[in-house]
């Protein structure tokens, strides 16, 4: 029998909220957990709060922000981004966000990418008809917006594998319609060109050229995209290339090697430049070797001529031999 002073502790009912037939949120050990079809799916990490109205420091207006991902980037490092709040208050905040997300047909702009896409994929596998309807569409829309962080998340997460080649061709070509140079180059670096046919690749390349790419951009393309090497090399040759530019062309663009080497010989080449041409441009070896002999070559330069330039081998050997003889003579006079 219980003492009079002893009170029975009421059983506290678990806090949970059902969004729809497929999604339920539960507050477990002060953490908000999402369940899909009764199966524990993911723990919510944080709640984005208090986005200030008007100008944000060094960024666009909040009303211009198109997604939660952009909002998180805009508020990165600001105290408004994450605040410590009671766990139950945070729980209801997550419930509100997910309810709004569901009521807006799973619009991924309303949740952070780290939650929106994995959850939408899980719902699709759970045969949620609305999720199945919008899953691929949402991926395509977010790719088309051109947010690099979202694009990288989708690429690294394997979300592009849900599209066939024709669908990817359409998505990539729409991305190339943008006038944003950084986005176009980002697309190229992510090797999206593989989804385009040959004619479209040429058109895409023209679109990049219209954005006045830097030489470093062009060097990257030469190193990594064999099918674009000739066009890029030609572009470099047309814009007063430095010797370094010409080295890239000689090394990577075989069809332009002689043209680039000839231009290098006309640009007051150093001994090192001439030695490089001798080693790498067979058709110009004699010309480069002759020029090198006229520029007070080092002994190492002479050895390059002996190794690579058959018509000048005898002349180079004679010069090298005379130098050794003079050196020996100086040594004898000094020490003997």
Q: What is the pTM of this model?
A: 0.65
Tokens 């990288």 correspond to: 152
Q: What is the DSSP letter of 61?
A: B
Q: Distance between CA 81 and CA 71 in Å, rounded?
A: 9
Whether residue 314 lies inside any domain: the answer is no
Q: What is the DSSP letter of 309?
A: -
- pLDDT tens for the 336 residues of the chain, in order: 444 444 444 445 678 899 999 999 999 888 889 999 999 998 777 665 433 333 334 444 444 557 787 777 766 544 444 456 788 888 898 899 899 999 999 999 988 999 999 999 999 999 999 999 999 999 999 988 888 899 899 998 999 999 998 898 888 888 877 766 777 778 777 778 778 877 877 777 777 777 777 888 888 888 887 877 888 898 889 888 889 899 989 999 999 999 999 999 998 899 999 999 999 999 999 999 999 999 888 888 898 899 999 999 899 898 888 877 776 566 566 665
Sheet holding 39-43, edge to edge: 16-18, 23-28, 31-36, 39-43
Whether residue 20 lies inside any domain: the answer is yes
The residue range of the domain holding 60 is 16-125
Whether residue 110 lies inside any domain: the answer is yes
Q: What would the DSSP string read from start to end of 257-293? A: HHHHHHHHHTS---HHHHHHHHHH-GGGHHHHHHHHH
Beta-strand runs (E) in the chain: 16-18, 23-28, 31-36, 39-43
Task: Output the six-digit token pair for 15.
Answer: 């806090």
The rounded Cα 1 to chain-centroid distance in angstroms is 72
Whether residue 241 lies inside any domain: the answer is no
In the chain, the number of structural domains is 1
CB neighbours of 200 closer than 8 A, spacing ≥ 6?
A: 169, 173
Whether residue 222 lies inside any domain: the answer is no
Q: Distance between CA 216 and CA 202 in Å, rounded?
A: 20
Task: Output the six-digit token pair for 32.
Answer: 């908000």
3-state DSSP assignment of residue 229: helix
Whether residue 135 lies inside any domain: the answer is no
Whether residue 183 lies inside any domain: the answer is no
Whether residue 113 lies inside any domain: the answer is yes
């Amino acid at each position: 029998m219980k003492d009079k002073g002893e009170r029975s502790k009421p059983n506290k009912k678990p806090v949970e909220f059902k969004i729809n037939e497929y999604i339920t949120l539960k507050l477990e050990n002060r953490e908000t957990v999402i369940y899909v079809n009764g199966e524990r799916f993911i723990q919510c990490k944080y709640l984005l709060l208090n986005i200030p109205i008007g100008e944000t420091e060094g960024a666009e207006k909040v009303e211009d922000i198109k997604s939660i991902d952009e909002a998180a980037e805009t508020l990165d490092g600001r105290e408004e981004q994450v605040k410590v709040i009671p766990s139950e208050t945070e729980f209801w905040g997550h419930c509100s966000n997910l309810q709004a997300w569901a009521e807006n047909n799973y619009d991924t702009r309303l949740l952070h990418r780290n939650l929106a896409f994995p959850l939408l994929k899980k719902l699709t596998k759970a045969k949620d008809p609305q999720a199945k309807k919008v899953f691929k569409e949402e991926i395509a829309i977010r790719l088309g917006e051109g947010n690099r962080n979202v694009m990288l998340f989708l690429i690294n997460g394997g979300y592009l594998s849900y599209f066939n080649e024709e669908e990817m061709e359409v998505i990539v070509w729409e991305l190339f319609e943008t006038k944003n140079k950084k986005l176009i180059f980002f697309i190229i670096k992510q090797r999206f060109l593989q989804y385009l046919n040959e004619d479209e690749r040429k058109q895409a390349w023209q679109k990049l050229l219209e954005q006045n790419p830097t030489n470093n951009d062009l060097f990257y393309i030469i190193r990594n995209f064999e099918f674009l090497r000739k066009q890029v090399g030609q572009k470099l040759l047309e814009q007063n290339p430095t010797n370094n530019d010409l080295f890239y062309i000689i090394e990577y663009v075989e069809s332009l090697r002689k043209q680039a080497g000839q231009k290098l010989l006309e640009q007051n080449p150093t001994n090192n430049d001439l030695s490089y041409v001798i080693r790498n441009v067979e058709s110009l070896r004699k010309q480069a070797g002759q020029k090198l002999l006229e520029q007070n070559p080092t002994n190492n330069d002479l050895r390059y001529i002996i190794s690579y330039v058959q018509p000048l081998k005898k002349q180079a050997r004679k010069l090298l031999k005379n130098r050794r003889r003079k050196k020996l003579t100086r040594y004898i006079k000094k020490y003997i």
